[in-house]
Structure formats: C-alpha cells, structure tokens
Amino acid sequence: MLVQILEITIPIFLIVSIGFFYSKAVKPDFSDANRLTIDIALPILIFTSLSSRDFDPAGALLFTAAATLHILLSGLIALPFARASSTEWRAFLPCVMFTNVGPVGIPLIVLAFGPQGLPIAVVLLVLSNILHFTLGAGLMSGRIEWRTLFANPLVWATVLGVSFAQFDLQLPVWLDTPLLMIGNILVPMMLLSLGARLSTSQVKDAGVGVKGAILTTGLRLIACYSILFVIPLDGVERGAFILYACMPSAVFNYMLADKYQTEPNKVASMVVMGHFASIAVLPLGIWLALQ
C-alpha cells in the first residue's frame, strides 16, 4: 500500500516542485500559458473525456448528486465554525466547499484509478466550477450572477461532451487525434502552473492559514462520510469522492476573495497553507480511497 501511495503522490509533487523552483529561479510570466490552458486545453479535455465511450451520463447521475450534496453539506456543517472563527463566514465557507479539483484533483484521481477515473474527475471539475462561480461567488459578493454560466466555455464543453456520449456520436480520427493531444497537455501544465503560483504566494496570516487548512479538510471528510452512509457509491466513484474531500482549497477562492475584497489575505493563507499541508493530507486521502 505504501508503495502504491508513493507512486501516486510523488509524480504530482515532483512536477509541482519543478514549477515552484523554476519560477523561483527564472521568474517567468505564466499568464499566457495559463490562458491557453484554461481557455483551450481544459474545455477540450472536458469534451474528449465526456464524449468517450467510457463515460455513461446516466451512470454518473448518482455520483453527481453526491458531489453536489457534498458541496452544500460541507458548507452547512462549516457555518457554526465560521461564525466562531476570526474569519468572516463569507470568506471561510467557500474555502471549505470548493477544492482544487483541476491542478490537484484530475492528476490525483487519474494516477490513483487509471483512465477510468478521468471522466469522474472531469464531472467533479465541471460541477465544482459551475457552483463555484455561481454559489461561491454569490457567498462572497452577496449576489448570484447566473448569467456567468452562459459565458463559461466549460459549460458548453460539458453539454457537447454529454450529448456526444448520449447519442453515441464520434468525431473523425483526423479531428479527434489533435483534440486528444491538446487535452493531454492539461495536467502537467496545471501542475507546473500551480508550483509557479505557490512560489509567488505571500502568507500574511500563517496561523489562520494552518488552522483553516486543518479545519476545512476535517469538515469535508465529515460531510463525505455522512453522504457515503446514505448514498452507496463504490469502486472508483467512492475512491474519487473521498479524494475530493481531501484536496486543498481551490486557488479560485483567493481570486474571488480578492475580487470582492472578502478578507483576501486570510483566504490566501488558507489556500497556500492547505496546499503545503496536502503533502501530508493527500497520502492519507489515498489510503482511505483505496480501502
């Protein structure tokens, strides 16, 4: 089991470390590469994953319901803790509810469960993204802007992918091959970018960050196992669901906190310290997921 855990975690931490130290030494501008990754590679990966014959839209409904319930329940469980903490509840709740499914979740689930884990990871990514930029942004700003969904390329990639899978449609090889090639660059680029982002992050409230990182993970796990007691997920879906609860808070939490000025320094500390704490948390999550 230990060897299996190391085989899953070491590649992730190694690529993140390369991005971290490269950014420290060279100080490159990742903005253009990040834009290409988010605007092109990510929607393409979502489409190719959801349109593949390995993905069953009907079979994913129960998992989608469980993941949606987890986001809502973890926020509900966290509310009294947020009220009692020194961090404003509007800033604290999204850090519990939304995890870093993209740069951390996709490679982690794929390395743990192989290619069959990719569609599950993509479902988590799309669902989390949709709720994050509606409900999560609404918590921080005080209003929900549903129209942002229609401008989100991930939503349209999801609709197309599910439609192709549902009606058993296929692209010609000459078009499918380059799309697969572009989608394959996503995971390493996101990990390198995550390392670069961590190298430039500043922690101004380290104490809040450490406490927040520990508390958010614990609350997510409570929500996770509460849901598994009611919804009978098994196999890859169960394992991916547990790993989802163990991931660090999403970097987008800081971006939204900074945009709406909802205690951005404390949110940044929780996000950064959560990613460093994942060195210890993720191996535990993998052990739980593989049981």
Query: What pLDDT sits at residue 205?
Result: 65
Confidence check: pLDDT of 204 > 70:
no
pLDDT band at residue 28 under the 50/70/90 scheme: confident
Report how far residue 112's alpha carbon sits from residue 124's, in angstroms, rounded to the nearest whole number.
15
Q: Which two tokens stand for residue 213?
A: 């990182």
pLDDT digits over 70-99, tens only? 999 999 999 998 888 878 888 899 999 999
Identify the domain containing residue 162 by its residue range: 2-289
Q: Following DSSP, what letter does each residue of 157-215 receive, concatenated?
A: HHHHHHHHHHTT----HHHHHHHHHHHHTHHHHHHHHHHHHHHH---S-HHHHHHHHHH
Indicate the pTM of the whole model: 0.87
Number of domains in the chain: 1
Provide the CATH number for the domain around residue 159: 1.20.1530.20
For residue 157, give the amino acid letter: A
Q: Following DSSP, what letter does each residue of 63-114 receive, concatenated?
A: HHHHHHHHHHHHHHHHHHHHHHSSS-HHHHHHHHH-B-IIIIIHHHHHHHH-
Query: What pLDDT sits at residue 286?
Result: 92
DSSP 8-state class, residue 59: T
Confidence check: pLDDT of 35 > 90:
no
Confidence check: pLDDT of 21 > 90:
yes
pLDDT digits over 267-282, tens only? 888 888 888 888 888 9
pLDDT band at residue 180 under the 50/70/90 scheme: very high
More confident residue, 139 or 34: 139
Question: Who's near 160: CB < 8 A, 6+ residues apart?
Answer: 47, 51
pLDDT band at residue 176 under the 50/70/90 scheme: very high
